[in-house]
Chains A and B, each alone.
Chain A
Amino acid sequence: MKSISDLLSEHPLFAGLAPEALELIAGCGKNVHFGQDDRILVENEPADVFYLIRVGRVALEVATPRRGPLVIETVGPGEVLGVSWMLPPYRWSFDARAVDSTRAVAIDAACLRDKCDEDPTLGYELFKRFAGLVRNRLQTTRLQLIDLYGNDAS
């Protein structure tokens, strides 16, 4: 059975991170499993955790008054669920639901924030990696906004 540290080292977010840093982060992690359609995050609830998806798929949803919930993005293996843990007010912006049976490593955000405060080098490294993640999501969101496949987008 793989340790949390092993699982972290296999995840693209932590690729190339020093073993000592992985051990430190692994101290805040645990394995979790969600069944199909399980609610994982709830809008405006405290963002006290984030997930490294290993198997399965999670849908980010926004509730709308007349159209019901809309899926705005899905997160799959090798991707990260949750970035709101990084900055105040530490609350989720969207709901998240497991589309399939999903396995992930859950990282306790308060625990990791404390370790980042104690070790600014680790904190800077993690924030660079999450900043890249947020940049990529911003870019893909912008592409979604221009209605890429519409008649006028070609």
Chain B
Amino acid sequence: MTLPDISIVRPAPMTPTMYRVVSRRQDLADTVSFEMAPIDEIVAPPSPGQFNMLWAFGIGEVPISVAGYQDGILLHTIRAVGAVTNALVACRVGDEIGVRGPFGVGWNLPQAVGRDVLVVAGGLGLAPVRPVITELITQRADYRRAVVLVGARSPESLLYRDELELWRGRFDLDVEITVDTAPPSWRGDVGVVTRLIDRAPIDPRNTTAFVCGPEVMMRFVAQALVDRQVPPDEVLVSLERNMHCAIGHCGHCQLGPDFICKDGPVMRWPRVETQLRIPER
């Protein structure tokens, strides 16, 4: 798609920039991926792992990770879980969505250059690490072994199934998929994603791991990685909290000394390990 000649603007951080839905894909029963093009202004190019605040006008705003970006077009994957996300998922091609962003600290890919890369994704957590995987493929020579481990509830609930098949077909990318339960026709693994870590073909001490999924999963994955001798500082996790302002002012997303919207969402495991083990009240 050719975009009009729109220069990048950086509006006030609380002011949304208008985007139009140019494609809509129903990934799962409750999950949709949108490609969105700018209308009059364009937000700054996001780094892998950053998020945008998406507005459903008249209803509210939610933080959504950037699942892809090319030539000004944003890709967002949204699961309908509340009023705002239900309204966003209901959008059709041509509808307008407000965008604030990009915000936060993303995946530090240069940290992994010259090292083995292990991506571990669970459920919808595949969306925030998708830009890591596409970058790995694009700049494949910059990295050593590349392994992607994906966990999901069932074969039917796997996100980006077509892309997963393409990635699995590559000789320079090792993709393993596991689900919690499956019919006999499923030829892949069954079990939680942590079980794949033990047999992942990596040199642990020379590996950088990018982990995204439900918080419980990330705790157990990070522990399994550290148990396998991956350096704790090389384990990066992407956190999700109740982000409202997205610029570190409102405090809704505070986790210990950090604001997840500003200091995260991607953080090194040792920085958040203690906080994530404290039960929420």
Output the nearest chain A residue to B122 by Cβ-Cβ distance. Answer: A149
Q: Which B residues between 99 and 157 are near A, CB-CB below 8 angstroms?
A: 122-124, 151-153, 157
A77 and B123 alpha carbons, distance in the complex (Å): 25
User: How far is it, in angstroms, between the C-alpha of A146 and the C-alpha of B181 when the chains are bound?
Assistant: 13
Q: Which of A24-32, A67-75, A83-91, A120-128 contacts B (4 or more CB under 8 A)?
A: A67-75
Contacts A97-B184, A154-B215, A154-B240 given; does A148 touch B189 at CB 8 Å:
no
B189 touches A76 (CB 8 A): yes
Instruction: Determine if B277 is an interface residue (Cβ-Cβ < 8 Å).
Output: no
Q: Does B89 contact A (CB under 8 A)?
A: no
Give the interface segment out of B65-73, B161-169, B190-198, B262-270. Answer: B190-198
Known pairs A149-B152, A150-B153, A151-B79; A72 contacts B181 (CB<8 A): yes
Q: Are A71 and B182 CB-contacts (below 8 A) given A59-B190, A147-B153?
A: yes
The CA of A34 and the CA of B35, in the complex, are separated in Å by 47
Q: Give chain A residues whose Cβ lies under 8 Å from the Cβ of B170.
A: none
Contact with B along A115-154 (1 / 0, CB 8 A): 0000000000000000000000001100110111111011
CA distance A77 to B186 in the complex (A): 18
Could you say which of A12, A143, A147, A150 has the most chain B C-beta atoms within 10 Å of its C-beta?
A143
Q: Are A148 and B187 in contact (CB under 8 A)?
A: no
Q: How far is the CA of A145 from the CA of B214 in the complex (A)?
A: 14
In the complex, A144→B192 CA distance in Å?
6
Residues of A close to B157: CB separation below 8 A: 149
B281 near A: Cβ within 8 Å?
no
Q: Identify which of A77, A148, A154 contacts B199 (C-beta below 8 A).
A: A77
Task: Tell me whether A70 and B192 are in contact (CB under 8 A).
Answer: no
Asked if A144 contacts B180 (CB within 8 A), the reply is yes
B189 A74 Cβ-Cβ under 8 A: yes
The reply to whether the CB of A41 lies closer than 8 angstroms to some CB of chain B is no
- Measured CA separation A60–B189 after assembly (Å): 11
Q: Specify which chain B residues have a CB less than 8 angstroms from the CB of A139 in the assembled complex.
A: 220
With known contacts A140-B195, A149-B122, A149-B157, A70–B79 Cβ distance under 8 A: no
On chain B, the residues within 8 Å of A70 by CB distance are 181-183
Q: Is the CB of A78 within 8 A of B198?
A: yes
How many positions in chain A have a CB within 8 Å of any CB in the partner chain? Answer: 31
* B191–A140 touching, CB < 8 Å: yes
Please measure, in the bound complex, the distance between the C-alpha atom of A68 and the C-alpha atom of B199, giving whole angstroms.
30
- Say yes or no for A100: interface residue by CB 8 A criterion: yes
Q: Are B199 and A149 in contact (CB under 8 A)?
A: no
Given the known A-B contacts A76-B199, A149-B213, A153-B214, are A59 and B184 also in contact in the complex, defined by CB atoms under 8 Å?
Answer: yes
- Are A146 and B216 in contact, CB atoms less than 8 angstroms apart? yes
Q: Which of A57, A61, A77, A149 has the most C-beta atoms of chain B within 10 angstroms of its own C-beta?
A: A149
A99 on the interface (CB 8 Å rule)? yes
Q: Which of B123, B184, B194, B215 contacts A140 (CB 8 A)?
A: B194
- Chain B residues closer than 8 Å to A60, beta-carbon distance: 190
- Asked whether, in the complex, the Cβ of B183 is within 8 Å of the Cβ of A99, the reply is no
Inter-chain contact B216/A69, CB cutoff 8 Å = no
Residues of A close to B240: CB separation below 8 A: 154
- Decide: A100 and B153 in contact? CB cutoff 8 A: no
Question: Separation in Å of the B181 CB from the closest CB of chain A?
Answer: 6
Give the CA-CA distance A77 to B201 in the complex, in Å: 12
For A151, what are the chain B residues with a Cβ–Cβ distance below 8 Å? 79, 81
Cα distance A97–B153 in the bound complex, in angstroms: 21
Report B196-227 CB contacts with A as 1/0, cut-off 8 Å: 00110000000000000111110010000000
Identify 18 residue pairs between A and B in the complex whose beta-carbon atoms are under 8 Å apart, listed by A's number: A57-B189, A70-B182, A71-B183, A74-B189, A76-B189, A139-B220, A140-B195, A143-B216, A143-B217, A143-B220, A144-B181, A148-B123, A148-B151, A148-B214, A149-B124, A149-B213, A149-B214, A150-B153
- Name A's B-contacting residues (CB within 8 A): 12, 57, 59-61, 67-74, 76-78, 97, 99-100, 139-140, 143-144, 146-151, 153-154
Taking A68-B183, A140-B194 as known contacts, 9 extra A-B pairs with beta carbons closer than 8 A to each other, sorted by chain A number, are A59-B190, A60-B190, A67-B183, A71-B182, A74-B190, A74-B191, A78-B198, A144-B180, A149-B152
